[in-house]
Chain A
Amino acid sequence: MIDTLVFLIFAGLTLAGAVAAALLRNLVHCALSLTVTFAGLALLYLSLGAQFVGFTQVLVYIGAVAILVVFAILLTRGSGALPGNLVTTSAWRIGWVAAVAVGFVLVAALQHAPFAQSAAAAPAVSVQQIGQALMGPFVLPLEIVGVLLTVALIGAVIVAMPERQGEDQ
């Protein structure tokens, strides 16, 4: 009973954040609502007993991605409210169609997915086990991701570096 209630609260929070992110006029408000969605997702993970994923969600999405989004908004178009009604433009009609189509596909996929019937039987994974898995069988993917991120970082630095005088001649 309590579990269902908790799930409903968290799910409601997540959905409310997502809807607000789509409908609010002010871009920064949208970003902040998106953060609420991230937080709701983290809470959902935690309520499922996935501590590591939940905390990582907070660390990465609220701590980094949300900040990145906000920075991007402030550095590009500014944080002013967008003019006009956006929900009935032609671009939005296409968007509605796409959303409905994706929704159908998702629902269909979920209905035919072979889920394990008893959710309670899911094994409790401790943080230590995740660590051992990452350092054991999955060490190569982890390293590759690490290298990829480092390359991305260096690339970003190079893009941001001031061009030296006289090089463009």
Chain B
Amino acid sequence: MSPNPAWSRTLDQIFVLLQHRIADLFPPLLQPWVAMILGVVGIVAVFPAIFALTTVLERKGLGRMQNRLGPNRVGPFGILQPIADAIKSLTKEDIVPRSADAVVHYLAPVVLVVAIFLGYAVLPVGRNMQLLNIDAGILFFFAIGASTELSIFMAGWSSRNKYSLLGAMRAVAQMISYEVPLLLSAVVAIMMTGSLNPSRIVEAQGGFTGILPHWYVFTPWGFAGFVLFVIAALAETNRSPFDLPEGESELVAGYFTEYSGFKFALFFLGEYLGMMSIAGYGITLFLGGWGAPLSVLAFLPSWLWFFGKLFLAIFFFIWLRGTLPRLRQDQLMNFAWKFMLPMSLLDLFVAALWRFLGEWLGAGLGTEVVRWLVCGLLLAVTYVLFARVMLKRQKISPRSYRYAE
């Protein structure tokens, strides 16, 4: 590590130091608990605050992309809009449909938000800033992520509404389909690090060549894995262009059609928190986590880098939402199983090849060139071939309705 000045190191660890300072005020027996609770409070305070900011930035950003101004009435530049929205959603009437399954209907948003918050427990947001440093951190995140599907199903089923149920079914089918490429594309990073621990993965990307960092995204397999991960993450969080489960034009609001007031706000919160946590793990796996992008900038605190990257990722998601139209159900499934899955399997193979080429040829510039050429070409050629085949098979014809004749 470059020898940073003391002030820089203090700033880097300022939240950790603060946590220890506050915990020290309590008797020793309680200290670990207090520290834990402080960490939880931090997560529960910071990420919803980012969510609030994201909603207004998203609306303003989308507006700009569509040559509008976006919200600009509440507060300067409309920055207080989320507060107005929060007051509105809190004071709205909470309507439960008469035929709904009241218990399940009530539990669904709670389970969703709790599961998504759990996912933050192992996310390293800075050096030593991880609530739970466990060995199987990435596995934990994916396990928690998989269990959100059930709450979406609960919401859709308990509403007793055709749109809700259809939305829930679409969401579950989509999430199951894209979970496979999501996991497989994450596996390359895990494989190269040799650990499921998020902190270890970040540290493995911590070195610099000259001033450039050793992020996984700057390798052929890492780049391919990153692109696949982003696509799968978009689908997993039901973000545009994969927002079929809540397609307004077809399903009103999908699985949360029958929710109002604060429960609706919880779903909204869950959706954005899910997006941010998956973006956070994408950053951890491929973009060097809390590492600085240039060695000369390493004096800035690690949490600043993490949240900077998080905002960039959120902006990218908004940008995609402002650009791409929604997919059709068959396109969605075809893309998952006929493109994403084979590509992520190939990427696994390429990552293994990269590693063993390094071992066989020994370190050196020649090895690097050979590795880059072989792996890059393998991925690029397959991608081009896939694209050719997919575009050739694409049949453009008037839409036929099988059952509506």
Residues of A participating in the B interface, judged by any CB pair closer than 8 Å: 26, 28-29, 32, 35, 51-52, 55-56, 58-59, 62-64, 66-67, 70-71, 74, 79, 126-128
Contact = CB atoms under 8 A, between A and B. Distances in A.
Contacts of A74: 157, 169
Nearest to B141: A55
Given A58-B143, A58-B144, A67 B136 contact: no
Interface in B159-209: 169, 172, 176, 179, 194-196
Contacts of B120: none
Interface residues of B, number: 25
B313 interface: no
19 contacts: A29-B101, A32-B150, A35-B150, A51-B134, A51-B139, A52-B139, A56-B139, A58-B144, A62-B147, A63-B145, A63-B147, A63-B149, A64-B176, A70-B153, A74-B169, A126-B135, A127-B136, A128-B135, A128-B194
A52 B136 contact: yes
Contacts of B147: 58, 62-63
A55 B153 contact: no
B315 interface: no
Contacts of B153: 67, 70
The 3 closest A-B pairs by CB, nearest first: A63-B146, A58-B143, A59-B143
B136 A55 contact: yes
B154 interface: yes
Chain A contact residues: over half helix, strand or loop, or mixed?
helix
B79 interface: no
Nearest to A71: B172
Contact of A127 (B139, B145, B146): B139
B150 A67 contact: yes
Residue picked from A26, A58, A74, A79, most chain B C-beta under 10 Å: A58
Interface string B330-365: 000000000000000000000000000000000000
Contacts of A63: 143, 145-147, 149-150, 179
B143 A67 contact: no
Given A55-B143, A63-B147, 12 more contacts: A28-B104, A29-B104, A32-B150, A51-B134, A51-B136, A51-B139, A52-B136, A55-B136, A63-B150, A67-B176, A126-B135, A128-B195
B264 interface: no
B150 to A, nearest CB: 6
Contacts of A32: 104, 150, 154
Given A67-B172, A79-B157, A128-B194, A59 B149 contact: no
A32 B143 CA distance: 17
Nearest to A157: B337
Contacts of A70: 150, 153, 157
Nearest to B173: A71
Contacts of A56: 139, 143
A164 B101 CA distance: 42
Nearest to A53: B136
